[in-house]
Amino acid sequence: MSEDKIVTYSPAYTIVPTYECFNRCSYCNFRVDPGKSPWLSVAAAASKLKSLQGSGVWEILILSGEVHPLSKRRQAWLDLIYDICKVALELGFLPHTNVGPLSFAEMSKLKQVNVSMGLMLEELTPKLLATVHQHAPSKVPEWRHQQLKWAGELKIPFTTGLLLGIGETETDREETLQAIAQLQQTWGNIQEVILQPYSPGTKESLQNLGFNLSKLPEVVATARQILPSSIKIQIPPNLVRKPSLLLECLVAGARDLGGISPIDEVNPDYPHIQHKSLREILSPAGWELVPRLPVYPQYYKWLDGKLQAVVSRNHR
């Protein structure tokens, strides 16, 4: 099998410390209002993680709604995320945290218990602050761009991406991709860029028709032209849906299908396609589906000794 015909995915499970979020993005199907989502306890998280041992799961995605940076509960929220990651590591899993913008100090703390982290840039154009992000204070483009710079400074293997179809133009997408490319040339820490088509759900307030999926292979091809070859392009197969379209995206340059877990917490109306079904789509077209870790081999040396030990002991 040619290396160019390999498509990767991460065997994953998502842990949600809380669904509460002070942002109110109009397309969100994840959040609930602050105070209306009980926080997951470390004990409950540990119980779930223990039940996953031996199941084939490698990545634990810690995905959370955001507590306001000035909230008195912010430190408790960060400590909860840290403690869940620590338990996951102790049980042999590899944590990947995506919980919104963090301070430099917060990122530095979480680096100790994560093999990689992530944050979607979505789109860098400020005009969305007047539309879909008008009630989302942490979606200021400069803040999210700064997050990627800090991740580079801290040598954190990172995933970012674009949300497609939320009011941006083709030029906006290209400018966002170019900004990611420039960051990669400076820091070299971006593992993957997700091209995520906005897909309408039942809880959102936007009530838009969503992204025109027929345009996705074209966006993939543009991203492949702009981004350095060191960055993999990722597409979520549960949001693409048509097997023929998924294959078109691979031909255009996508090579990763992201974390495959029982539930897509961000898009709960679109169940994940499990790896067996994905192989049935890919194999006849000559593609090989291969599991991967949430940290790529070229970044192992960036991990501290304890994280390297977990990778080496359980996953190499």
CATH code at 140? 3.20.20.70
Tell me the average pLDDT across 228-257.
96
48-70 pLDDT per residue, tens: 999 999 999 999 999 999 999 99
- Structural domain count, the chain: 1
Residue 137 one-letter amino acid: P
Report the share of the chain in percent with pLDDT over 90: 83
**Spatial CB neighbours of 160, under 8 Å, sequence gap ≥ 6:** 118, 119, 120, 121, 148, 180, 190, 192, 193, 194
pLDDT of 225 higher than 80: yes
Residue 200: pLDDT band with limits 50, 70, 90: confident
Tell me the average pLDDT across 28-51.
93
The CA distance from 138 to 160, in Å, is 16
pLDDT of 207 higher than 70: no
pLDDT of 161 higher than 60: yes
Both tokens of residue 110? Answer: 């979480």
Residue 162: pLDDT band with limits 50, 70, 90: very high
The CA distance from 135 to 44, in Å, is 32
Per-residue pLDDT, 11: 96
Q: Which domain holds residue 296?
A: 3-314
The pairing of beta strand 158-164 with beta strand 190-197: parallel
Q: pLDDT averaged over the chain?
A: 93
Give which of 148, 161, 171 is closest to 198, Cα–Cα. 161
Dihedral of the alpha carbons of 11, 15, 21, 27, in degrees to the nearest 10: 30
CA-based angle 11:13:15, to the nearest 5? 155
Per-residue pLDDT, 203: 64
Tell me the average pLDDT across 156-180.
96
Residue 204: pLDDT band with limits 50, 70, 90: low
pLDDT of 209 higher than 80: no
The CA distance from 79 to 73, in Å, is 10
65-76 pLDDT per residue, tens: 999 999 999 999
